[in-house]
Structure 1
């Protein structure tokens, strides 16, 4: 049985059902410990499953004592979670311990979701869709001088269901030319009828994330549905191409494909439409306890996609100084095919 040590909050939560911002998880053979400080031990003892809770003011020292007492010779860790300083402290104090780096150790364990996890992700996606509907209703109210900054604030409120849920990430709310930046920051630009509006947002339901993007034509009574009619033929052509790429990738994705092959399904549609150079990011990414997990649906994605994996399909086109378009949904692989959550 692998001996390993974890520092990442979500990696720890996955193992024992609890984590905080100052904890370590140590797993040695059939034993496991959640190591944390006195601020968290009462809560930890109530929630941790399958591990003993160790209270200490020095997490690394407590971990070293457990490692020394068990005579551990080899310990797996994810170098993406740890600082050079922290690993150095373990190595110097335990010279006979071999620290074995395994990048993405927890993400690899978490790639295939359980039915319970899929249900949580589905609920997160449903609540996220409701957040978009609430935001659309707000935008359809009479008003003036609503800047991207104000809309960004209102989207955070709508997506969180007014404080009931945490957000998966800071939402993107971008109008016209600002939407040409895939990770646009809100500006003082004011929304007006006839504008293009791109919104990318998600929430957490019992710690599991949602992620959704829609691009819409702003007019009276508009919504964030897939059917959008823009006044500009140029924008409409680009939108229809992105939608086709999105739908094609979901329809043709199969278990057994690599992430790169699924990425290719969307990218080929864009390239055949003559706009390949404007699709500047990958087609998708895994979603779970982290907003970005494995598998990665990209040109370099070597992971074989299997049933139970959850990821996004989100092709986009970005025309600097003009406009940008992205359509994104979360899918789960079931019975060999992609099912929208």
Structure 2
């Protein structure tokens, strides 16, 4: 199979290394990692199963290699390529370029045993980081605004530079939590506020992802056992938790992703909150924080052993509050196992 990549995680999956200026070609039995001289040492030491080619003009080098190979068709993912970059390669060779969206994601959808171990480690480190973050917020968070809380979260979650983060953490208080992808505001954390935190860290480049919603009293922890003073918030929270647990208990290999989505959505809808559940149930996690499979109402993807994805139902009432509970699961022996 012949294909070419520009995406860093796609390249890393193929050869164990990537950088921000590279191009990967797989041509029959040969593979080439093209990069510039800034990365000569790193690439030579780390690239596995491919020949390292140093040339600052990636596209010209790719054209030369394609002409020498005499292949007739090359697969590429149009999401990865700029119009300029693709045209510089495709216009110079008489080859059929086959656009296949999410080509690398499809190759990576079933995780190997080694990948599952790495992702599980990332998830465990993420859970440990949430415990440290709760301690930090209890001690120093009250009276601080979301900007400061987010700044503190980045330091604690990444163990102050030891780990990269999967994404910029979401730290949202009360009404701001009603935005699924909330950005920080000047709202300050007060005792008994609703606090939502969505965050993750990377281990050996693989991501973790976790969300907890709590009542921020002086003893709070980022666990799923939460008591709120507001009856409305408590009802919504209990609904989300029930939906979250139901999907984890009942998800099975062989089901379609949309049927896993229904395991959360039906419960939220029956409780009267259906209109406030505004996103899908989950998404795959691996080298990318969002990858296949997507657990949505429209997805016909068949869930298989080795897939890793999130279960994250939510209820978001504009101007009032938002609740989300999220865990990562791996399909093992036909069932969902929380990582």
**Residue 87 (structure 1) aligns with:** 86
Residue 271 of structure 1 is matched in structure 2 by 269
Q: Distance in 2 between matches of 1:302 and 1:3?
A: 27
Q: CA deviation at 1:70?
A: 1.2
Q: 1:200 aligns with which of 185, 198, 218?
A: 198
Post-superposition shift, 1:91?
Answer: 2.1
- Give a deviation string over 1:239-278, Cα, whole Å, max 9, x none: 0000000000110100011111100110001011111000
Structure 2: 5+ residue stretches without partners: none
Matches within 5 A, 1:1-341: 2-94=1-93, 96-141=94-139, 144-341=142-339
More deviation, 207-216/70-79: 70-79
Query: Which secondary structure state, in structure 1, belongs to the residue aligned with residue 217 of structure 2?
Result: coil
Structure 2 counterpart SS, 1:53: strand
Q: Aligned partners of 2:308, 2:142: CA distance in 1, in Å? A: 40
Q: After TM superposition, which residue ranges in structure 1, 4 or more long, deviate above 4 angstroms?
A: none
Segment drifting more, 78-87 vs 238-247: 78-87
Q: What is the CA-CA distance between 1:142 and the residue it aligns to?
A: 5.6
Note the C-alpha offset of 1:144.
4.8
Q: How many residues align?
A: 339
TM-score by length of 1: 0.98
Shift of 1:131: 1.1
Alpha-carbon distance between aligned partners in 2 of 1:263 and 1:149, rounded to the nearest angstrom: 33
CA shift for structure 1 position 143: 6.2
In the TM superposition, residue 145 of structure 1 has moved relative to its aligned partner by: 2.6
Gaps of 5+ in 1: none
